[in-house]
Amino acid sequence: MTHHDMPADADAAACPLEPTGLWVRATASRPRRHRDGWLFDLQALDPTRSGRLTAFMSGDFTNQIEQASGIMLHEEDLVGDHTVLLTLTVDPLLGLTGRIIGLDRGLMLRAWVERDARVREALDANGLWERQRELPMPRRLRRVFLLEPDDGAPHAIAEGLARWHELGMIALIRHPLAFEEPGSVAALHRALDAAEGQLEWGTLDAVIVEPGSGFALRALSDPGLAQRLCEFPVPILTRRTRPETLLDGLAFRSFDTAPELAALLIEILHRELREADRPRLEAIARELEAAPAVEDRPAEEGALFD
C-alpha cells in the first residue's frame, strides 16, 4: 500500500510513502519518445503468458542513466530483454501501466562496450593503443603519483604506499578526486598536468590509479583522456574496474586485485636493490664513517670564482 491508495482513516505514518516496486524480466519493444521520457511495450519472457504491458520511463530517470553512463539513450538501446523495476498503475487511457524506477545494468554495459570499442579502434589505427605497454619496466620506485578516489574509504594500495612514504622508501604524491562526479574528466586532466609537472621539474617513476569501488567510472573511458593516457611517458599501473574501462586496456599494467599490483611494485624495489651494488655502497659507508672529519677552513688567498 502507498500514500496513493491507503484508506482515508489509515495511519499515514504507518504506510510507506514510496512504492517498493516489482522486478520484471521482459522483452521491450516499440520504444517511442513520450514528453521527456520513453514509452515502450513489455512482453513476458514466459511464452505461456500473453498480453503486453505499456511501460513508461520518466525523463528524470533517463537523465540519471545518461549521466551515469555518459551515453545518450536511443531506440535500439531499449529494445531487447531487460530486467526492470516497476510500479504499476491503472490509467484510464493506457490501462495497466508500469512506471520504470529501476533498470538492470545490461543496457548500459552494452552501450559502454560498443562505445569503448570504437575509441580503441581509433587509437589502435593511430598507433597509440600499445604505446603504454611498450614502455620499459621501471628500474626504480622513488617517486610515485597516486590517483585515488575522494570517498573517505580505506584502499589497500593507498595505505601501502602511504606506509612506504612514511618509512622514507618512496616519495608519494597523492591526488584524490571524485571519479564518478560531474567534471571528473576535467579533474583527471588537471591531475595529469600535475603529474607531468613532477616529471618536468624532478622525477616520476610511475602513475598509479586506484579507482575505488564505483560502477559508472566512465571518465576513465573518455576518448580525449584515453589518448592522453596512451601518450603519457611514464608507466601507468591500475586496478581493473568492473565493468572495465579503456584505462584498463591501455595501461602499462592492470591488475584484478590490489595485492597483485603491490607485488609488481615490490618486484621493482627488489630490482632496485639488486642493481644498487649494495656491497660497494656499504664499503663506502664504512670508509666514510671511519674517516676523520674535514675541517672547514677559509681560503687564505685567491678568489673563489674567476
Query: How does pLDDT run across 8-32, given as a tens digit for each residue?
Result: 443 444 333 344 677 778 888 888 8
List of residues 6+ apart from 110 with CB closer than 8 A: 77
Q: Measured between alpha carbons, how far is 237 from 239 in angstroms, rounded to an integer?
A: 7
In the chain, what is the greatest distance between 2 CA atoms, to the nearest angstrom?
A: 108
Listed residue (80, 20, 88) closest to 55, CA to CA: 88
pLDDT of 95 strictly over 50: yes
Percent above pLDDT 90 for the chain: 43
Q: What is the dihedral of CA 265, 266, 268, 273, to 10 degrees?
A: 150
Whether this prediction's pTM lies above 0.85 is answered by no
Which stretches within 100-237 are classed as H helix?
A: 106-125, 156-166, 184-201, 223-231
pLDDT of 5 strictly over 90: no
Query: What average pLDDT does the structure give for the chain?
Result: 83
pLDDT of 303 strictly over 80: no
114 confidence band (pLDDT: 50, 70, 90): confident
Q: Measured between alpha carbons, how far is 283 from 97 in angstroms, rounded to an integer?
A: 83
